[in-house]
Structure 1
Amino acid sequence: MGRLLAVLRAPAVRAGFVVLALGACVWALVSQWDDVTDAVSTIPGGTLLGATGLSLVYVSLTMLSWRAVLADLGSRLPLRTASSVFFVSQVGKYLPGGIWNVLAAAEMGADHQIPRRRSVSVMVVSILVSIVTGLALAVLAVALAPGAVADRYGWVAWALPVVLVVLLPPVLNRLLGVALRVTRRPALEEPMTARGIATAAVWALLAWLVAGAQVWLLATAVGMDETFASFALAVGGYALAWTVGFLVVVVPAGVGAREAVLAVVLAGQLDAGGVVVVVLLSRVLLTVADVGLGSGGLLLARTSARRLRERPRSDQVGS
């Protein structure tokens, strides 16, 4: 990892990474363009607009969960700076390998005096928080979806308490310490606290609810009943789909695996055509959100860098 981070420090490599990652996001959209246009034609414009807004809110809430962990470990970033670092780094998840967003966050965080080992630990803890809260909501999908879901994904019920133990501060801090010693990195200056983990978990739960609301909004537009049970199924189904998709680390951003799980969950609520429309549009709108927020984060980063370069000149003029 140290060698990879060293390579990313070269300005040309960093710029190339952003271009490549954003290009991968755009390609994910363009490669499905015909299917997307067909799906869009079946959804009212207001519903699409609302689902797009929910996608943007979802990604923003995941940033706030990450920022809470970062603050708990000793680095408090202003919202503007945190948004820039997180949103730009997240487009790296569209590249194969499953580590590029972590490495990008570590390198961008170093520009703001955040030790790279801390950035990596923050991303790891944030992912664990997402997995635990996601598994908690995935239990809804297992309970409410057809029997095929329970047969295939019933393991979430026993996996949840196992993973939950990992988030207990004494256990989590010990695991982070062991990982840093194994990789011959200095220990963290600040341990994770119960308050920090709880704050991150609240933001993560809100993010899951918003993501599920996006799926529910699309699904009800193509025939799913507008009930609390269907909403709970959408929330739990998306959380389950994300968790399984994350575990398939060789696939960029869980592409394919996430959609397959969500399709199984929704199969009892929609016909085959409706399932395809919801699954496809949910992924596309989240990709659009990542592209939009990543581009905005890049603009914020460049604006901040320009202000830092101009500040000495302003001081000099005034003196």
Structure 2
Amino acid sequence: MSDRWRAVLRAAAVLVFAVAVTAGLVTALRGQDWSVAARILTPGSVGLVAAAFAVNSVAMVFSWLSWRVLLVDLGGPVDTVTSARIFFVGFLAKFAPGRVWTLLANIRMGASAGVGAARMAAVYALTVVISTLTGLALGTVAGLAVLGRTALVLALAAVPVVVCLARPDLVNRGAGRLARLLRRPPPVMSASGRGVRWSIVAQTVCWVVAGVQLWLLAVAQGAPPLRTLPISIGAFALGTVAGVAVVLLPDGLGVREGVLLVALATVLPLPAAGVVTVASRLLCTLSEIAVAGVAVLVSEVVKRRQPHYANAR
């Protein structure tokens, strides 16, 4: 195939990706109940809502750090600007229907930075395993807070995380089994114990901080602060993991809300729980688009201004 046709195919692939992501973003924004903004943004709650937006933005940074630990661990240093560009372009891809877009975006952006496809695929698989395990483990917190001692058996869901901290090689095996389940070649690279542990820690912090976002919105609607905190953290983590399992809907649209509504209804009247649930989706969508968009824009500016980034293109 000639270089000209390769360039045409690359341009076509970029165009298809851009259209898919744009369509996903439009669908995500149009699907929001914007009327909920008037109900959540009362004079006494503006500060809490603003704090929730900021907190969710911080959670995204920890998600990136968890991913970056694995990226560096599997093949050597990747500078901050490049890793942020790869991650956040892939992050925006999650709004497109289907989970394949994120991996394809990571591989494409990684290739432009000299990071091989095998490495990007391994990072993706390991990230899915770690985020799922930590999300399920924190989900038990919500179950324990709602059901009390009768749900102590749910604590068993935290055992895999503890085991993986002690035996990080099990995460690599889990990534291999995930690949086989999806009928894909298993990762050809394995993360070190140190890399897996730090990724688990960063992802756990990400879930906790993201749960605080939901907690702030719930408190703004009158939920009891102390009781609502563990429920918010656990429910958000569990709901997000459940949403990831639904491949056809952009960002698990609707699945996470179902989990949050059930959990929040234990600390708020059902109408208020519904307001918080919808407001959380709206706020998360806006903050994710804003943070990812700013990160990609800043990385592009830095890349164009600094010669060593431009030459790596």
TM range (shorter): 0.7 to 0.9
Task: Return the alpha-carbon distance in structure 1 between the equivalents of residues 41 and 168 of structure 2.
Answer: 49
Between the aligned partners of 1:19 and 1:213, the Cα distance in structure 2 is 33
Partner of 2:210: 211
Matches within 5 A, 1:148-227: 157-161=155-159, 168-174=167-173, 179=179, 187-188=188-189, 191-227=190-226
**Aligned-pair CA distance for 1:236:** 0.8
State the Cα deviation string for residues 126-180 of structure 1 (Å, max 9, x = none). 1211111112211111111158x96xxx996555545776784433445656859
| Contact 2:261/2:274 (8 A) holds in 1 | yes
Give the Cα–Cα distance (whole angstroms) in 2 for the partners of residues 75 and 257 of structure 1: 37
Deviations 1:14-38 (A, max 9, x none): 2442354144224322332543333
Q: Which residue of 1 aligns with 2:71?
A: 70
Counterpart for residue 293 of structure 2:
295
Q: CA deviation at 1:298?
A: 2.9
Question: For residues 155 and 102 of structure 1, what CA distance do their matches in structure 2 show?
Answer: 35
1:17 paired to 2:17: yes
Equivalent residue pairs, number: 300
Cα displacement (A) at 1:12: 3.9
Larger CA deviation: 205-214 vs 298-307: 298-307
* Distance verdict in 2 for CA 1:40–1:27, change over 3 Å: farther
SS of the aligned residue for 2:225 comes to coil
By how many angstroms is 1:10 displaced? Answer: 1.0
Distance 1:209 1:9, change over 3 A: farther
Evaluate the alpha carbon distance shift between residue 61 and residue 84 of structure 1 in structure 2; reply closer, same or farther with a 3 A threshold: same
Aligned partner of 2:3 in structure 1 is: none
What amino acid is aligned across from residue 244 of structure 1 in structure 2? A
Q: Distance in 2 between matches of 1:204 and 1:80?
A: 20
Contact 1:84 1:296 in 2 (8 A): no
TM-score where L is the length of structure 2:
0.84
Cα distance in structure 1, aligned partners of 2:9 and 2:239: 34
Counterpart for residue 282 of structure 2:
284
TM-score (normalised: structure 1):
0.82
- Correspondent of 1:274 among 272, 275, 280: 272
Paired residues of 1:54 and 1:210 also in contact (CA < 8 A): yes
The equivalences for 1:43-122 within 5 A come to: 44-122=45-123
Taking the aligned partners of 1:138 and 1:257, their CA distance within structure 2 comes to: 15
Larger displacement relative to structure 2 (27-36 or 134-143) = 27-36
What percent identity do the matched residue pairs reach? 32
Aligned residues of 1:146 and 1:268 also touching (Cα < 8 A) = no
Pairwise CA RMSD of aligned residues? Answer: 3.2
Unaligned 5+ segments in structure 1 are: 1-5, 314-319
> Would the alpha carbon gap of residues 231 and 311 (structure 1) be closer, same or farther in structure 2, given more than 3 Å must change?
closer
How far, CA to CA, are the matches of 2:176 and 2:50 in structure 1? 45
- Deviations along 1:10-64, one digit per CA (max 9) or x if unpaired, are 1343244235414422432233254333333447221121111011111111001
Deviation per residue, 1:70-113 (Å, 9 max, x gap) = 11111422222221111111111111112211211111111111
Kept in 2, the 8 Å contact 1:133–1:201? The answer is yes
Of stretches 304-313 and 272-281 in structure 1, the one that deviates more from structure 2 is: 304-313
Measured at CA, do residues 225 and 163 of structure 1 come closer, stay the same or move farther in structure 2, by a change above 3 Å? closer
Q: 2:284 is matched by which residue type in structure 1?
A: L
- 1:49 alignment partner, SS class: helix
**Pair 172,219 (structure 1): closer, same or farther in 2 beyond 3 Å:** closer
Tell me the distance in 2 between the aligned counterparts of 1:256 and 1:105.
26
CA contact (8 A) 2:122 2:187 kept: no
Per the alignment, residue 316 of structure 1 pairs with none
C-alpha contact 2:63 2:202 (8 A) present in aligned 1: yes
Q: How far apart are the structure 2 equivalents of 1:201 and 1:74?
A: 19
Q: Deviations over 1:193-215 (max 9, x none)?
A: 11111111111111111111101
Separation of aligned partners in 2, 1:312 and 1:80? 12
Check conservation: 1:219, 1:278, Cα contact below 8 A.
yes
Structure 1: how far apart are the matches of 2:310 and 2:265?
61
- CA spacing shift, 1:164–1:284, aligned 2, 3 Å: same
Q: C-alpha deviations, 1:222-257, integer Å up to 9, x for none?
A: 011021x32111111111111211122222111101
